[in-house]
Chains A and B, each alone.
Chain A
Amino acid sequence: MREPNHARRLMLIWLIATVIVTPLVVILVGPNIPPGNASEQASGHVTDNTVLLGMATPVLLLVLIYLAYAVIFFRQPQGAALEGPALRGDTRIQTVWIVVTSLMVLVLAVYGTVRLLADNGAGSGSGPNPVAKPSGPKLPVQVIAQQWAFTYRYPTYGGVETPHLELPRNQMVELHVTSLDVVHSFWAIQLGVKADANPQVDNVVFVKPTHLGRFEVRCAELCGIWHGQMFDYGHVVTPASFQQWIHQQQVTFAPVTRKLPPYKTTYLPEPTRRGE
């Protein structure tokens, strides 16, 4: 039996699979990946993940199809002890491989950087002085993490501190994440926001909620025994009901607000050494 042209067959199988599978993945899987479209940043993540999936699928298919093909066709015949061809490399294939992977890596890195800057940090904690600042009015909200709860301070509303988080829709929010004790991480899952809370650090993250509704808040950095219970819910509301809510909070917490230290980006943490 004449040996078939394996290279051509493999190429053909891969091309057909890629042409069929990649669009399916991009159209059907991509848009359904969390976190959804609750904020501009979250929608950005969905687009980003879809692009990455679209790039990864052909690579994944290439290697998987190759492995499957090799396992099926490149076998030792039953009972034989044949030696394979003594191939020790191929400069052309290696060069093509290096060039193609390098180009893909460059595209990935450039694309990731563009998305990171265009989405104003893409919902990730960007340190005290983010380079990509959104223009226009912003609502500052401070997220204060401690074992094992988050509280929120609204400096533009008299520095009121409340255990509830509500954000107005279509308003760029500037979250200042900090901690009073150990390292926590503020994760607003549906908003696509994650920022570590470090003591003595002001970690800024921008998010613009676009859809009304509830979102989950979890701690994403191990912070002690009740780390798993450190979760809560926040709400995206209309600007009008936000105003109503925040005034209500100001009234409710007025006695507390008077005793709070003045608003600062960080607070001297409580001693973290046991018992001192």
Chain B
Amino acid sequence: MTSAATPAAPAAPGTPASRPPWWRRLIGFNLLTAVVLGIGGYYLGWFIGHQISSPTFTYETATDENDVALLLAYLFGVAGFLIGMGFANYPVVRLLGRPPSLREKEEQGISRYFGLCTDHKVVGMQYLVGIGVFFFVGGLNAMLIRTELLHTTPTVVGPSQYLSLVGMHGTMMMGMMTSAILGPFANYFVPVMIGARRMAFPRVESLTFWLLMAAGFILVSTIFFGGFPTGWTGYEPLNNEAVMGMDSYIVFFALVGVSMALLGLNMLATIITMRAPGMTWSRLPIFVWSVFATSILMVLAAPVLIATLTMAALDRTIGTTFFVAGGGGSSYLFENLFWFFGHPEVYVLALPGFGIVLELLPVFTRKPLWGYRLAVSGMLGVTLLSFLVWQHHLFVSGINADLRPFYMLSTEIISIPTGFIFLCVMGTLWKARATFTVPMLFCLAWAFNFLIGGVSGVFLSDTPSDTDTHGSLFVMAHFHYTIMGGLVFTFFAAIYYWVPKMTALRFNERLAKWHFWLMFIAFNSTFLPLFALGMKGMPRRVSSYAPDLHGLNVWVSISAFVLGFSLLIFLFNVVYSLIFVRRRAETNPWHSKSIEWQLPSPIPVNNFTQIPTFDSDPYPYGTPSPPAFGEAAAPAPAGG
């Protein structure tokens, strides 16, 4: 896959001629070893769990349920998986005082995508495929949920399985998709955009990916342990009552938390310390700013989640009562801790979308970004405020009811910095020379969707109005408009925009347009009626509802199936264009002036032959102006 034109790439120590036979290559630190050690670790943990726990708890012996065993099995399994992958090598070698390997698997062919690789571009591709797979698993759950809701009473799946589906869909989307843009696109393009050759911590970068994959696998494994009944919020004390499948949720979300925190930390370190000469803060591409803001949220919010879930796991195993009212604990404590993570979490999902839209609009409008500073302050404002609003999820809970005016105010204040982003979008569109390519269409769809999501959020932030809509499908519609309409649409914008650079292959444009239009129409047709359903009194997460709501539910389900079908078109396009047809993309099909498009595609291993210097802002569209960075080979007219 590596381009031949990479003068900076040092010659690989193991050239293909001297490679050992295939069976020899299976031994060593690779995916196979990782899976073997992972399974081994799993059974070791299971065994230890039964040894230390089963004789003491009557419950476990009576029901064949042993949370200690399952939790240990998961933890040992993940540890084994990571060791097999080779993540322990570097620390061990350093401990032994030997010189460590400075880069790993950067030169190998296709196999580097299946292991620990320190090339940020490989990790980006890994993320894109890995997250894509779990995105489709989560989407499949949604299809099953909507199939069940074709009926007013539980018919297709039982009520228990229905809740497991709801929980898996929500948890998968809220967990895996936190990295939907930071994982693939920030890992791939942030180092390039700031003129660096790699991330600050390349091994940690790879670790975040493999942790996320292990987590996703654990979440899916919940179906072998009875699923979990709590939805993605995992409220106590239902959490404490639930069967062993709940432990899958706990371990999944804790691992996602670790992955998020490390990813955020890595991004912050990279953006702060590794900018090339001339890449001042005011020249940072707006996408990098959004990654920066998101990373702050990840680093500060994820540890709270990890701590909360650790407490939940202790409640379930060794009999602490943090969240059990009967033992002096409080269900409020869990709600507070969860939403202190949970609200920043939704901005972790929304902020990268802002960045993508503002980054792509200048390219397709042929104009500089309008209001750069306003956009940056909007993102940082959202980051700060998102830690001050979490109790708006708890307006009817009775927690600190006297503080509700404050949370109402702080929640509504968040619409000011979000409004900045809209003003920047509108300003950039002003007198534009817009071409409506597929990425541009997805960006415009973002503006429409997020507008509806934002306006419905005003109703939810108002306590009297929230009394009717809290816990109803209105909320569900609202956050699908902001997250699916805000994140997933920009995720596809980024895919259509950047994958031609990442793979050097182009998508079939006609299929892409079909995908867009079908997805946009079906999305709105699915989620707009849900506002009405919520207002009419249909709660979230139910499989039985009033018969007079049946017609609307059938409409929503059919729209959801069309939405699912539009994603199949995308999948078909991926397989068709990137695997079978393989038409080569131009180096810079969008005529972007951003630095990543000036490099050959795919980008060589070390990105640059020589670290670039930056001497102008990143959006030199419109009037003739000097090139964005010193190394640019494109003959740009001088002066201006």
Residues of A within 8 A of B (CB): 6, 33-35, 41, 44-45, 48-49, 52, 56, 59-60, 63-64, 66-67, 70-71, 74-77, 80-90, 93-94, 97-98, 101-102, 105, 108-109, 112-113, 115-116, 119, 121-128, 130-131, 177, 181-183, 185, 187, 189, 192-196, 198-201, 203-204, 216, 218-229, 231, 268-276
Contact = CB atoms under 8 A, between A and B. Distances in A.
Interface in B571-591: 591
B371 interface: yes
A56 B458 contact: yes
A127 B544 CA distance: 30
B535 interface: yes
A80 B158 CA distance: 59
Interface string B307-348: 000000000000100001110001110010000000000000
Contact of A218 (B236, B243, B331, B539): B539
Given A97-B423, A112-B463, A222-B540, A83 B470 contact: no
B635 to A, nearest CB: 15
B370 interface: yes
Given A84-B432, A220-B539, A122 B398 contact: no
Contacts of A122: 463-464, 467
Contact of A48 (B243, B462, B541): B462
A44 B324 CA distance: 36
Nearest to B441: A71
Nearest to A130: B401
Interface string B184-204: 000000000000000000000
A70 B429 contact: yes
Given A84-B432, A216-B537, 20 more contacts: A74-B431, A74-B433, A75-B434, A82-B433, A85-B622, A87-B431, A89-B372, A109-B408, A125-B398, A126-B401, A183-B238, A187-B537, A192-B467, A194-B468, A198-B398, A199-B325, A220-B471, A224-B163, A228-B154, A272-B325
Contact of A88 (B326, B370, B397): B370
Nearest to B447: A67
Interface string B418-433: 0110110011011111
A33 B447 CA distance: 26
Interface stretch (B125-133, B286-294, B361-369, B554-562): B361-369
A70 B62 CA distance: 68
Contacts of B137: none
B398 A195 contact: yes
B451 A64 contact: yes
Contact of A45 (B400, B447, B467, B622): B467
Contacts of A123: 464, 467
Contacts of A269: 325-326
Interface of B: 58-59, 62-63, 65, 154, 158-160, 162-163, 229-231, 233, 235-238, 240-241, 243, 319, 324-326, 330-332, 335, 365-374, 394-402, 404-405, 408-409, 412-413, 415-416, 419-420, 422-423, 426-427, 429-436, 444, 447-448, 451, 455, 458-459, 461-468, 470-472, 535-537, 539-546, 591, 621-623, 625
Contacts of B397: 125, 196, 198, 203
A199 B237 contact: yes
Contacts of A192: 467-468
B235 A201 contact: no
B59 A275 contact: yes
Contacts of A85: 367, 431, 622-623
A63 B464 contact: no
Given A34-B536, A116-B405, A125-B397, A86 B471 contact: no
A-B interface, 10 closest residue pairs, ranked by CB to CB distance from nearest: A86-B622, A228-B542, A220-B471, A203-B398, A122-B464, A127-B401, A275-B59, A84-B367, A199-B325, A200-B325
A227 B596 CA distance: 51
A84 B398 contact: no
Nearest to B231: A222
- Chain A CB count within 10 A is highest, among B332, B459, B468, B546, for B468
Nearest to B619: A88
A271 B326 contact: yes
A88 B372 contact: yes
B214 to A, nearest CB: 27
Contacts of A84: 365-367, 431-433, 621-622
B367 A86 contact: yes
A76 B536 contact: no
Contact of A220 (B237, B409, B462, B470): B470
- Chain A CB count within 10 A is highest, among B238, B370, B408, for B238
Contacts of A274: 59, 63, 65, 241, 243
- Chain B CB count within 10 A is highest, among A109, A119, A195, A218, for A109
Given A124-B463, A185-B396, A274-B63, A97 B419 contact: yes
B417 to A, nearest CB: 9
B241 A182 contact: yes
A218 B536 CA distance: 12
Contacts of A93: 423, 427
A124 B447 contact: no
